[in-house]
Amino acid sequence: MSSVLISGASIAGPALAHWLRHHGLTPTVVERAPAPRPGGQAVDVRGTARQVIERMGVLDEVRAAHTGARGMAFVNASGKRTATMASDTMGDSGGAIAEIEILRGDLVRILHDQTADDVEYLFDDTITSLTETPDGVDVTFERSAPRRFDLVVGADGLHSKVRALAFGPESSFVHDMGAYTSIFSTTRREDLDGWMLMHTVPGRTAGIYPTPGGQAKAMFVFKSPEVPHDRRDDAFQRDLIARTFASDGWQVPRLLTDLKTSPDFYFDRLCQIRMDTWSRGRVVLLGDAAFCASPMAGNGTSMALVGAYLLAGELASSRDHTTAFRRYEEAMREYVTQCQEFALGGMAGLLPDSRWFIRMRDFTLRVIPHIPGAAKLFGGDLQKIANTVTLPDYPVRTP
């Protein structure tokens, strides 16, 4: 149990590769993109996940790449703030914006740089088939020559190819949340002063948040039945957003103008991945491929980092991969369940159904800082959820 193929070079994959090397195992990472993917939305590192990046030796670098966000505010059509929530209102890991927030692309870069010298990366390639044998998994690739690995890890996201090959079609594991989301770079014409601004009308929310270097990201989220289309059809998706938000005020018209030409456009369905087990034979899943809570506010980055630490540690300390996979799942399951439940609860606040609910949401956010215990009552205690897992101190295995 030495050679491990990891599909996916975003966050979960390189983090797992780091810990596998730390324990004397030999990881190979295959990634469809030609290089580490830049850009992407801001992600939070919460609770126990901060201990993981500290043990990796990259905590200072991650903090240095902080987006600068220090809170979230809802605004009305004229731009007046109707409710605010500072990043520390519900604890350093409990608010809508955590103490450590970083662009996904910056975290990907840091994790790749941490592993590039001693981990084999196969960029611009993807797995095409998996065949398990008594001695390992025979893998074919789109570009590289076939190889055999002791184990295969699917860390390739919500639309995981490894999951499809080893477990079956995506539709068997998707729990739809009834909405779409989009994120892209936008021009920054105002001083956000570290605040994420969001404007809500019934069933949809538009937002803008600061990023390093004086830049900004736009965000659109809206309720909708699933609209059949090719998920790689950017033109259709951009048009769908433009039509959905065409009547909204605030800065939405400007953001829709930037939407037309933004080079880093992201669009996907809000959904969760729910599975009874994350392993089958010599194949195991990690991160969004196994337990996506939500592409937004689902604690996905933290779960990926914690899961990578636990999976590598169990593989290094267990007598066989079957035991390791079982112990990894036992350590993660309650944490994942709580994160997924929290994400479902947050949908009502993000996408209220009525103007009355919007007013009640904003009123609640205004009073939370002034009532002892209100943050936990209304916020679901994300601070506690983020610290569900206690990290074991795994012994380092000598080769």
Q: What are the tens digits of pLDDT across the range 270-311?
A: 999 999 999 999 999 999 999 999 866 668 999 999 999 999
CATH class of the domain defined by 3-67+103-173+272-349+376-386 = alpha beta
Q: What is the mean pLDDT of residues 110-135?
A: 97
Whole-number pLDDT of residue 296: 65
| In the chain, where the domains are located | 3-67+103-173+272-349+376-386
Whole-number pLDDT of residue 95: 60
CB 46 within 8 A of CB 382: yes
List strand residue ranges (DSSP E) for the chain, in order: 3-7, 26-31, 42-45, 71-75, 81-86, 100-103, 120-123, 127-133, 136-141, 147-149, 151-154, 174-186, 195-201, 204-211, 215-223, 266-273, 279-280, 283-285
Per-residue confidence at 131, pLDDT binned at 50, 70, 90? very high
Per-residue confidence at 390, pLDDT binned at 50, 70, 90? very high
Which of the two residues, 132 and 298, has the higher pLDDT score?
Answer: 132
DSSP 146: P
Whole-number pLDDT of residue 90: 58
pLDDT, tens digit (0-9, with 9 covering 90-100), for 29-85: 999 999 998 877 888 898 999 999 999 999 999 999 988 788 889 999 999 999 988
Whether 260 has a pLDDT exceeding 90, the answer reads: yes
Which of the two residues, 42 and 239, has the higher pLDDT score?
Answer: 239
CB 124 within 8 A of CB 34: yes
Whole-number pLDDT of residue 177: 94
Distance (Å, rounded) from C-alpha 369 to C-alpha 270?
30
Q: What is the mean pLDDT of residues 333-349?
A: 89
Per-residue confidence at 88, pLDDT binned at 50, 70, 90? low
Is pTM, for the whole model, over 0.85? Answer: yes
Report the mean per-residue pLDDT for the chain: 90
Q: Are strands 127-133 and 81-86 parallel, antiparallel or unpaired?
A: unpaired
Distance (Å, rounded) from C-alpha 166 to C-alpha 179?
28
CB 245 within 8 A of CB 222: yes
Q: String of b and e for 199-238 (b: at least 16 CB within 10 Å)?
A: bbbeebbbbbbbbeeeebbbbbbbbeeeeeeeeeeeeebb
pLDDT, tens digit (0-9, with 9 covering 90-100), for 366-389: 887 676 655 555 555 777 888 899
Q: What is the mean pLDDT of residues 305-323?
A: 96
Whether 93 has a pLDDT exceeding 60, the answer reads: no
Which of the two residues, 345 and 77, has the higher pLDDT score?
Answer: 77
Shortest CA distance to 16 belongs to which of 143, 152, 145?
Answer: 152
Distance (Å, rounded) from C-alpha 80 to C-alpha 9?
41
- 390 by DSSP, 3-state: which? coil
Q: What is the mean pLDDT of residues 95-117?
A: 88
